[in-house]
Amino acid sequence: MKTADKITALPDRVGLETLKGLAYVGGLARLAGESAYITFVGPFKGQRLHAQRAFHQAMAIGVRAIPIVSLISFFVGLIMALQSAYELRRLGAVQFVADAVAISIVRELGPLITAIIVIGRSGSAFAAEIGTMKVTEEVDALETMALRPVAFLVAPKFLAMLVMVPCLTIWADCMGVMGGCLFGVVGADFTFLSYLQATRDALVLHDVFTGIVKSALFALVITAVGCQEGFSTGAGAEEVGRSTTEAVVKSIFLVILVDLVFTAVFYLTNRG
């Protein structure tokens, strides 16, 4: 293809990819909306909510993720304290280490780290599980037994994620603060109680609420992407691997995008 033809075809490719992206987001919104309806409205209209499956998913998503979330969040909090102290000491303001760690962890890093860990553990598992069921025609078997795949497979995951990801985020915030506290006590002349006091003074309820709302939105994105990729799996074992990879990549991208939009809204609404 000549250079002129490539330049001419570029707008068409951009337009096509844009339409595909919008269609994909529309599919995510449809899946998330249907799951939310089944979870919150369905029980009042006689539809069964698979609570046992939701509980099982909550254990896998939340309880079993506590060790890795704790470890990574603690280390990130410690790293943030070290990096902050390096600059603040030059300004003679090392006493503000606790403020810097608390605000960065609670507003931003806690929800984001938790979301990325959950994507790696659970978002990929959603895609692999549903993708395998699609390849082995178990999804078709559910429909044959008059079980709606979204109600049986997606809604329990949606409910479990919506409950457990904010809980994990709060735990990650606490562990991040503890990581900063370790440096504060050892290297910045804080006591344990004075560091916690400085952390409490640095935070307002709005900071905590912002992080929890972010985490709920991240949970929605992770569930929708993982399940959507699972349902779109083609024939063959190779397609399961492709769906799992796509779920991780797209989930991380969309989580970062949602985080950017939410942070921008937060900035604009609190600028005055």
pLDDT digits (tens, 9 = 90+) for 147-169: 788 888 899 999 999 999 999 99
Q: How confident is the model at residue 197 (pLDDT cuts 50, 70, 90)?
A: very high
pLDDT in tens, 17-29: 888 888 888 888 8
Share of the chain above pLDDT 70, in %: 96
> In the prediction, which pLDDT does 70 show?
95
Pair 228, 125: CB distance under 8 Å: no
Check: CB of residue 171 under 8 Å from CB of residue 69: yes
C-alpha span between 32 and 52 (Å, rounded): 20
Residue 6: per-residue pLDDT? 56
- Check whether 98 has a pLDDT greater than 70: yes
Q: What confidence tier does 145 reach under pLDDT thresholds 50, 70, 90?
A: confident
**169 in helix, strand or coil?**
helix
> Full-prediction pTM beyond 0.75?
yes
Residue 36 or 235, more confident: 36
Which residue is associated with the tokens 């994990």?
168
pLDDT on residue 7 = 58
Which of 271, 39, 250 has the alpha carbon at shortest distance from 151? 39
Closest to 230 (Cα-Cα) out of 31, 4, 51: 31
- Which residue's structure tokens are 């603060």? 177
Q: Is the pLDDT of residue 5 over 90?
A: no
Distances from the Cα of 90 to the Cα of 44, 86, 132, angstroms: 61, 7, 56
User: Residue 180 to residues 66, 91, 173: CA-CA distances in angstroms?
Assistant: 19, 19, 11
Distance of CA 199 to the CA centre of its chain: 25
- Asked whether residue 1 carries a pLDDT value surpassing 60, the answer given is no
How crowded is the C-beta side of 107, counted as CA atoms within 13 Å? 17
The length of the chain in residues reads 272
- For the chain, counts of helices (H) and of strands (E): 12, 0
CA separation for the pair 264, 262 (Å, rounded): 5
- Segment 24-30 long-range contacts (CB within 8 Å, at least 24 positions apart): 24/228, 27/228, 28/221, 28/224, 28/225, 28/228, 29/224
pLDDT surpasses 60 at 254: yes
The answer on pLDDT for 62 being more than 80 is: yes
- Helical packing angle, 124-135 and 205-231, nearest 10°: 20
The answer, yes or no, to whether residue 134 has pLDDT greater than 90, is: no
Tokens 């603040």 identify what position?
A: 88
- Domain layout of the chain by residue ranges: 50-269
